[in-house]
Amino acid sequence: MDIVLGLRIKGGVLVATSKAATRGISVIKVGDDKTRELNPNTLMAYTGEAGDTVQFAEYIMANTRLYGIRHDIELSPSAVASFTRNQLAKALRSRKPYQVNVLIAGFDPKTEKPTLNLIDYLASNVELPYAAHGYAAYYTMSLLDRHWKEGMTQEEGVVLMRMCIKELQTRLPVDFKGVYVKVVDKDGIRDVSALVYPDEYPEAEVTEELEVQQGEIAA
């Protein structure tokens, strides 16, 4: 029931991931970040089998960063997506495949183009203008089909993202504890959750908000 959602905007990609970490029927964490920065201009968001997800994401992250250090040039987002697909495809026909679905959001500084790749655990890789994994796709694709436009600004993208999250909040049977929203563009990767939840983040830092929420659960 995790949410992983991404949409391409003008000169960047927006990615939203749900904050709840669940085991069975219990929510065990409310500030879970389901993303990893693969390199300065590529972000991976993931869902799937607990354990496999972080293990796989960090394996890909370590290797893409190692490539950057060894060759003194970063892999392009499409190259990272191909590498990720290849690793998943190899795992698929092994004794125990990784059950991980990912989105790879990136901005290629060379071509100056933002890209969003959807890769499922079967290792099917497709480049898309907007994408979601799991149940979130059933509720958000119709909204995105209707409202997404080529060359949307970040502000328009945030508004659309807010519509998607609102729909998920009303239709999903469980509370996913909100989402983190990140943007990948020419300036790198930034957290823009405050733009999507203007009421909940008056001027506060994102980290403070987290502490409050976690404190409430503990109490």
Residues forming contacts to other proteins in the complex (CB under 8 A) are: 85, 89, 92-93, 118, 120, 122-128, 131, 137-138, 141
User: For residues 8 and 85, which CB has a smaller minimum distance to other proteins in the complex?
Assistant: 85
Query: Residue 31 Cβ, how far from other proteins at the closest point, in Å?
Result: 29
Nearer to other proteins, 111 or 124 (CB): 124
Shortest Cβ 89–other proteins spacing (Å): 6
Minimum distance from residue 206 beta carbon to other proteins (Å): 31
CB atoms within 10 A of CB 97: 17
Tell how far CA 58 is from the center of its chain.
14
Torsion over CA: 180, 127, 69, 54 (sign): positive
Nearer to other proteins, 28 or 126 (CB): 126
Smallest distance from other proteins to CB 141, Å: 7
Q: Which residues partner with 167 through β-bridges?
A: none
Dihedral sign for Cα 197, 202, 207, 213, please.
negative
CB nearer other proteins, residue 88 or residue 195: 88
Q: How far apart are CA 59 and CA 54, in angstroms?
A: 8
CA–CA separation, 51 and 54 (whole Å) = 6
